[in-house]
Chain A
Amino acid sequence: MKFLPFIWRNLLRNKLRALLTAGAIALAIALVCLLRTMPDGLNLMLEYFTSNTRISVHAEAGLVYPMPYAYLGKVRSVPGVEAASTWTWFGGVFRQEDGVSFPSFATEPETVGTVFEDWEVPKEDLEAFRRTRNGALVGEMTLEKYGWKRGDLVTLEGEVIPLALEFRIVGVIPNIPHFMLQREYIDQAFRSLDPQGLSWTGMIWARVDDAARVEPAMAEIDALFQNSEVETASETEKSYMKNFFGMLEGLVVVILVVTALVALCIVFIAANTASMSVRERFQELAILKAIGFNRRLLFGTLIAESTVLALLGGILGAALALGLTSVAREATEGLDNTLRPLASFVVTQAILVQGVFLALVVGMLSGVVPSLGATRRSVAETLREVF
């Protein structure tokens, strides 16, 4: 400890160099910390978008093939299924020049709140949606885009179901663009075109009461419709994103490789600084040896020097990463919904500790070779070269 002031003075011998090196280490550690948030962050983001107890049931042939509407009742009767809703694509267009600029689906207002619990639609809104025949629950993103608010009347022209209908906005769905309509209302209107009414649906969403019962429920649903006119394929919402997952794993590997390279890179930066600062004071080191500093002590003070520098850089970098993510989180909170998932990237305490620890290791590693070189030289020989 009594050597600390001495170490500190040596460190500040070339302030600009120390500053630049610490800065490079800080940026690299910040980068490493940010990269380290990605694997968890991406996963969290996915969780954010999906629910693990929701099943999507659609025609085995593909999403664009309709299923008979009667399937809904059968899906609801499968054990473990708590609630189910259909989604039937309405294809609503608000402005002709925009085309279909948001997804619009007809659904059952009684169950949509249960099946999509995670949407967190306010209770009063769900209640209003149930009560209002031409009511619509509209995603916040679409509301903002068109400047609509609760109570507004909006006319949409269906592209799939060729009707121009007026809807009253009765509720808001946070964070998504969906425009949800009462199936009943569409069905009635559609009877003017086809006396059968809406006899099909594109998709059924079922909420299962327990994640463990998801697999059996999916098997049972698909079994129900085997050999019927339209066979079904059920998937969990997450497996629905399976492709995305596969991509994610590759991405995580890339991220880890980049992290390792960045770490290696700062070892070189720091080692360069350490070797420069050792080389330019061989004579001083010889004096210290003459005075009686032994190799271990000299090595220790040199290593301590590069370690202190790297540690300062590391702490700065970790703080930078923490600051950046906090700012990102605050800025996106409630503000712009498409950016909201940015809040998933959290620099945890563990990541901070790892970052600072990495800096520590970098500092020690980078100091080893130059310090060893300096302490190995014989005193008499160094003195000869200089004096």
Chain B
Amino acid sequence: MIDLVEVSREYQRGTDHVKALDRVSLHVERGRFAALMGPSGSGKSTLLHILAGLDRPSSGRVVVAGRDLGGLSDDQLAKFRSTHVGFVFQFFNLIPVLDARGNVELPLLLTSLSKAQRREQAETALRVVGLAERASHAPNQLSGGEQQRVAIARAIVSDPEIIVADEPTGDLDAANAVEILSLLRELRQDFGKTVVMVTHDQRGAEYVDEIHQLDKGVLLDAHSSASAEGAS
């Protein structure tokens, strides 16, 4: 599902080069729940953005869902994201002027679905995350955990194969974090999604199938998570 070969990403900062990613090769199978872990500044977000088609590598090959992203124009990348990838970020996930349903419906505006179909699909997604009865609440009327669940509903509403999440639990208390982690796990379990999550959260390790450690832009050997091994 996700295949990165010798991917590097350099940033120019003044006169010096920052190597955010150094010849990273990453492989994630379809239907797996993968975690990217590592210290702050190790390149996790950069890697996530590249495999989700939000950013382009300085060199290397990125093939996701059967597409070589290097060959796509900006507009084609946007189209790729809207059909294949769902996003969950740490904060500011939701558009404050839209209610939960409106937020979840957003990606569907890019499709040819009718208004009724959009609404129905958004409500289904909200049901999956357990917030069907909160559909007409504005983001500021929802708790942090609920907001993240709405973000997850939005990420799955157009039924993409891949869900990427950048520190989705970073801003949450323990109980809410656990809820979000189980929800992501469910997406993989019940819907066969491929999920890639950046996390600091040691608890996260218990929910994922595999962990990829990054350090200073270099990918250390991947190892399967203990709990995942027990589970599968």
Query: How many residues from B make CB contacts under 8 Å with A?
Result: 33
User: For window 292-308 of chain A, which residues contact chain B by CB distance below 8 Å?
Assistant: 292-297
In the complex, whether A9 has a CB less than 8 A from a CB of chain B is: yes
| CB-nearest residue of chain B to A291 | B107
Chain A positions within 8 Å of B82 at CB level: 291-293
Q: A2-B115, A9-B98 are in contact. Are A289 and B78 (CB under 8 A)?
A: yes
Q: A2-B115, A292-B78, A295-B74 are in contact. Are A383 and B49 (CB under 8 A)?
A: yes
Which has the most chain B C-beta neighbours within 10 Å: A288, A289, A383, A384?
A383
In the complex, whether B65 has a CB less than 8 A from a CB of chain A is: no
Chain B positions within 8 Å of A380 at CB level: 46, 49, 54-55
| CB-nearest residue of chain A to B82 | A292
Q: Which of B24-32, B83-91, B174-182, B207-215 interfaces with chain A?
A: B83-91
Query: Would you call A292 and B110 a contact (CB within 8 A)?
Result: yes
Which has the most chain B C-beta neighbours within 10 Å: A3, A293, A295?
A293
In the complex, whether A387 has a CB less than 8 A from a CB of chain B is: yes
Query: Would you call A292 and B107 a contact (CB within 8 A)?
Result: yes
Query: Would you call B55 and A387 a contact (CB within 8 A)?
Result: no
B89: min CB distance to chain A, Å: 6
Chain A positions within 8 Å of B166 at CB level: 387
Chain A positions within 8 Å of B102 at CB level: 5-6, 9
Q: How many residue pairs between the two chains, A and B, have CB atoms under 8 Å in the bound complex?
A: 82
User: For window 344-387 of chain A, which residues contact chain B by CB distance below 8 Å?
Assistant: 378-380, 383-384, 386-387
Chain A positions within 8 Å of B93 at CB level: 287
Report the bound CA distance from A295 to B166 in whole Å. 23
Query: Would you call A12 and B97 a contact (CB within 8 A)?
Result: yes
| CB-nearest residue of chain A to B92 | A283
Query: Would you call B91 and A387 a contact (CB within 8 A)?
Result: yes
Query: Would you call A294 and B78 a contact (CB within 8 A)?
Result: yes
| CB-nearest residue of chain B to A9 | B97
Contact of A387 among B45, B52, B78 (CB under 8 A): B45
A347: min CB distance to chain B, Å: 36
B169: min CB distance to chain A, Å: 14
| CB-nearest residue of chain A to B99 | A9
Query: Would you call B95 and A287 a contact (CB within 8 A)?
Result: yes
6 CB-based A-B contacts, threshold 8 Å: A287-B93, A288-B106, A289-B54, A291-B87, A292-B80, A379-B55
Instruction: Please give the residue numbers on chain B whose beta carbons come within 8 Å of chain A beta carbons, in ascending order.
Output: 45-46, 49, 52, 54-55, 74-75, 78-83, 87, 89-93, 95-98, 102, 106-107, 109-110, 115, 154, 166-167
Instruction: Please give the residue numbers on chain A whose beta carbons come within 8 Å of chain B beta carbons, in ascending order.
Output: 2-3, 5-6, 9-10, 12-13, 283-284, 287-297, 378-380, 383-384, 386-387
